[in-house]
Amino acid sequence: MARQKFLLGAKAASKDEFYTQLADIERELRYYRKHFKDKTVFCNCDDPFESNFFKYFVLNFNKLGLKKLICTCYTGSPIANSQLSLFDVVDTEDGNKPYKAIITTVYDKTGDGALDMEDIKELFKSGENKLTELEGNGDFASPECLKLMDESDIVVTNPPFSLFRKYVATLMKHKKQFLIIGNINAITYKEIFPLIMNDEIWLGNGMGRWISGFIVPASYELYGTEASINEKGERIVATNNCLWLTNLDFNKRHEEMILAKRYNSEDYPKYDNYDAIEVSKTADIPCDFKGAMGVPITFLGKYSPDQFEIIGADYSLAGPININGKNKPNPQRFYINGVRKYARIVIRNKHPEPAKEH
């Protein structure tokens, strides 16, 4: 009880407690199986007793051929887990201390013919896997968590949204392979977009509704028409604005879009303040245009580096413009006939079809 009270107090100020559902993890992770063989996976924003990332990797440990799974939590969480609790496993007076789980073996310890979280608990109790308290607060950027990061091959989690820039910078600095959940808006962050442009990181298989929703604590408002409470009593918020971000390659990333439209100057006007044409829908990219094209940011969900080159984004490319006598030296957006367009990424087709002779 004391633990629960502490946690609610500690978390009330931030809105980072959006827990990923197992079905959403499974939907994306099945595309990367080959990457995990003999690898050490680190989930560094994950309470082993609550995180479905932990659950996914621990229950698929043998199927994926993992070498090791490391999981660290920041503090406890306001979502109580019905499967296991820290007190069932380790002898501790202070249930608020963050801890780390290190898994190196997974088998049917209870001998009941099935592999489930009860086996994981028994494997902790027997000392075959290790569950120990961290020295610090479990911050992913703390020295002890960075050391664990350096020992790992692939980091997989849904990190705190409020620290997303810092989180990705840490992964890049430590040259980690990763698969993480982020918000669609993160694409346009000045710290993130250049990494996408240079093909150092890319979007996973799906965005938006591909991630069906997050489990939120009781203290969070259940907003939106699609909010629900599932059969386990978990409160789900359907966000429709998230995506997976990774630097692990997967097949779909090399599938080229079929382009049915052809260029004509009426349907594809040029911007006032940048030398590119406006393509307002990704599906309408003309197959025969050689030059620069502005497309919506959702294009990245279909982007194959084999087919297109990313030149930049409007926020850095848009030139100065005068609107109704008012100078805009750094408008950050493209304009057509004085009308501001939505956020755009600028691309070029690497092998356009020849333009039709008229």
Ligand X SMILES: C[S@@+](CC[C@H](N)C(=O)[O-])C[C@H]1O[C@@H](n2cnc3c(N)ncnc32)[C@H](O)[C@@H]1O
Tell me: does residue 24 bind ligand X (CB under 6 A). Answer: no
Q: Which stretch binds ligand X (CB under 6 A): 18-26, 32-40, 194-202, 286-294?
A: 18-26
Nearest distance from C-beta of residue 22 to ligand X, angstroms: 10
163 vs 343, beta carbon nearer ligand X: 163
180 vs 295, beta carbon nearer ligand X: 180
Q: Which long-range contacts (CB under 8 A, 24 or more apart) does 257-260 make?
A: 257/282, 257/285, 257/302, 257/304, 257/307, 259/285, 259/286, 259/287, 259/349, 259/353, 260/287
125 Cβ contact partners less than 8 Å away, ≥ 6 residues apart: 89
106 Cβ contact partners less than 8 Å away, ≥ 6 residues apart: 58, 59, 61, 62, 115, 119, 120, 123, 129
Indicate which single residue of 32, 36, 53, 299 sits in contact with ligand X (rule: CB under 6 A).
Answer: 53
Tell me: does residue 170 bind ligand X (CB under 6 A). Answer: no
Cβ-proximal residue to ligand X, closest one = 158
Please say whether the beta carbons of 245 and 203 come within 8 A. Answer: yes
Nearest distance from C-beta of residue 117 to ligand X, angstroms: 15
Nearest distance from C-beta of residue 164 to ligand X, angstroms: 10
Query: What H or E segment, with its residue span, contains residue 149?
Result: helix 143-151
Tell me: does residue 271 bind ligand X (CB under 6 A). Answer: no
Q: Binding-site residue total for ligand X (CB under 6 A)?
A: 20
Q: What is the dihedral of CA 92, 98, 103, 107, to 10 degrees?
A: 50
Q: Which stretch binds ligand X (CB under 6 A): 15-23, 225-233, 241-249, 327-335?
A: 15-23
Please say whether the beta carbons of 201 and 247 come within 8 A. Answer: yes
Longest dimension (CA), the chain: 82
Tell me: does residue 17 bind ligand X (CB under 6 A). Answer: yes
Tell me: does residue 239 bind ligand X (CB under 6 A). Answer: no
Q: Which stretch binds ligand X (CB under 6 A): 102-110, 123-131, 159-167, 271-279?
A: 159-167
Which amino acid is present at 90?
Answer: V
Give the residues lining the site for ligand X (CB under 6 A). 16-20, 45-46, 51-53, 74, 77, 138-140, 157-160, 163
